[in-house]
Amino acid sequence: MDSLQAKQRIFELRKEIEYHNNLYYNKDNPEISDYEYDMLLRELENLEQEFPEYRDSSSPTVKVGGSAGKKFSEVVHTVPMASLHDSFSKEEIIDFDRKVREIVKNPQYVVEPKFDGLSVSCEYENGVFVRGSTRGDGINGEDVTDNLMTIKSLPHRLKGDFPPFLEVRGEVYMSYKSFEELVKRQEINEEKPFKNPRNAAAGSLRQKNSKITAERSLDIFVFNIQQIRGKTFESHKESIDYLASLGFTVAPFYNRYSEIGDVLAEIDRIGDLRGSLDYAIDGAVVKVDNLAQRDLLGSTAKFPKWAEAYKYPPEEKETKLLDIEINVGRTGALTPVGIFEPVFLAGTTVSRATLYNKDFIDETQIGIGDTVIIRKAGEIIPEVVAVKSHGENSTPFVYPEYCPSCHSKVYREEGESVVRCTNTDCPAQLMRHLIHFVSRDAMDIDGLGPAVMEQLVDRGLVKSPADLYKLRAVDLASLERMGEKSALNLINALEKSKSNSLYRLVFALGIRHIGQKAAKLLCRKYHQVEMLFSAKAEEISEIEGFGDVMAESVEDYFSLEETKALIYELKNLGLNMSETDTAVEEGVFTGKTFVLTGTLPTYKRSEAAKIIEDNGGKTSSSVSKKTDFVLAGEDAGSKLTKAQALGVKIISEEEFKNMLGI
């Protein structure tokens, strides 16, 4: 590769890595595996070393990948929260040891598991937890104190000989068990599930509503002292022992070694333990134990020179496909699930995995008897990577023409990958539909979880959402694990939900393509439920954010006689059928759509968005020809560029205030 080619490739890699950094650290929604990301970063590191003339202080190899979001108030870290340099071979760990020994004599190393979660800082004054924050970009993080307070394994008050001030660093994580339960709930509601426990933990910790965070059952391991007053230590191991005495949950093992051969053996031992742990680790961390030696070794702008992370490779296995089952979801979606010869993979025995959809079936020509390669996405969700070979007698699987639950004809809309059952009364859809109906963002009926709902359906007490409001306390009290008090609480929760705003009911009905935000926008235009019965797709599509597919879905749903019958039954049972959202209908921004980008001088973007909506306007996350104004601050990115290309009017905060008459 010549210099010009290297320059181009370095530019491409930096752009690609920054894109994935934003998805991983800020959006909690990665598109590629950790291993694929690590390989991109390693390629960039190698090129920058080979062509030092193209090094840049803003490169992803130099700076921490995350950033402080705008959702929470900012915290400036007095002690930077650095990243770690990664190794992918034993030779690299040996090279790390060689570099250490060139500077310090007879180093000892502590080897710990590398937890796969979200790094946080926790501060204590006189033994009391006072503030917690995310790592962010290493210097600026987000204040998530309230959410950290919900984590039971993080002490709110320290025990023993605590100092006047202490700041510790830890890793917030979600156990495999909690993650599996969360994904099951998301799948039942046909929500997009988190890809792995790490993203689930990060997404849960960044919730504005700490009650949601509390329901996610997060945990934390504390692994470092960032700052301390009134006490000193000579070694890292000594400091971790001290943290354990204060009541922190520290790593279950952090052993000390003098020889690099023993360090490598411990890395292997930790790797072998992965299958028996109830939490995700993606590697092992090797740290110089003596704190004075750490000072001699120093740090780069991104990571310390006294520590190295060894990353374990992803594990894949071959197995034989024995059968394909078809599961029917809440909206009638038919999802294929592969049944395999059991294989031990990433710590558990795997015998089932999703086959995604009909397109995957058709593209791979997969058939019963084929040999396939499977892995665990995020080391938890089994997935088929590829078909390695077709069996001698196997034939491609043929997608069913009739629903396996109710035997109604199935269909596939043009442009969609999903095959659906046409029968709205399909028994397989009922359970999932009811669980969605009572979920938090819908009717928010506390106490009606899957276990209770399953009993109600099995006993024939509930056959539609309306039946929920006909339940009596005596019916509920007879259910397993449901006493009189719980039954009464549930009846009260059902009664309370009757006064919900109309948009919650519309979202709860489970109309295809209509999420909570779309339901809210819909009900601001059609604020009486009867107005939706005669609404036509053409006029519905005029709502900002609505496309033709969404509009047609709404018209199709409310034109059905069974929909009208359900609505009238719910109305007779006392449910509110009017929109009670207090959005301002008229104002200086009525009929105008704004896109916000960059950092504004005085307003947070969320504050500016609320001002726009309070004055009758709307906000959108993307720029289009329908956008009226782009409110741009410093460091405005691609949205500003697109606005310029489309000729959309760009305004400053000062111009924005002038429009308001401020």
Active centre residues (catalytic): 114
For residue 438, which phi and psi values (nearest 5 degrees)?
-95, 0
Q: What 3-state DSSP class applies to 435? A: helix
Instruction: Report the distance separating Cα 118 and Cα 26, nearest Å.
Output: 11
Q: How far apart are CA 127 and CA 465, in angstroms?
A: 50
Question: How far is it, in rounded angstroms, from Cα 380 to Cα 396?
Answer: 28
- Residue 604 Cα distances to 69, 303, 599, 601, 652, angstroms: 11, 31, 8, 8, 13
- Strand partners for 595: 620, 630
| Secondary structure E strands in 329-380 | 333-345, 348-354, 371-377
Helix (H, G, I), strand (E, B) or coil at 355: coil
Q: Are strands 371-377 and 618-620 parallel, antiparallel or unpaired?
A: unpaired
**Partners of 402 in beta bridges:** 409
Tokens of 417: 């990958």
Task: Report d(CA 56, CA 62) in Å as an integer.
Answer: 8
Which of 380, 302, 209 has the alpha carbon at shortest distance from 21?
302
d(C-alpha 433, C-alpha 188), whole Å: 8
Q: What is the CA radius of gyration of the chain?
A: 28
- Residue 225 amino acid letter: I
Q: How many CA atoms lie within 13 A of 474 on its CB side?
A: 0
Distance from C-alpha of 229 to C-alpha of 248, rounded to nearest angstrom: 18
Residue 276 is classified by DSSP as G
Cβ neighbourhood burial of 44 (10 Å; 0-12, 13-18, 19+): buried
Instruction: Give whole-number Cα distances, 179 to 138, 213, 278, 380, in Å.
Output: 27, 13, 10, 9
Three-class SS string for 31-65?
CCCHHHHHHHHHHHHHHHHHCHHHCCCCCCCCCCC
Enclosing H/E stretch for 621: none
Helix pair angle (176-188, 450-458), 10° resolution: 50
Token pair recorded at residue 407: 């035997």
Sign of CA dihedral 390, 395, 401, 404: negative
Segment (H or E) for 255: strand 255-257
Dihedral pair phi/psi, residue 478, rounded to 5° = -80, -10
Cα gap 622→629, rounded to integer Å: 11
Answer yes or no: are the C-beta atoms of 159 and 144 closer than 8 Å.
Answer: no
Q: What is the DSSP string of 507-530?
A: HHTT-TT--HHHHHHHHHHS-BHH
Helix crossing, 548-558 with 561-572: angle to 10°?
Answer: 70
Calpha distance 448→442 (Å, rounded): 13
Task: Give the count of beta carbons closer than 10 Å to the beta carbon of residue 275.
Answer: 14
Largest CA distance in the chain: 83
- Residue 329, number of CB atoms within 10 A of its CB: 19
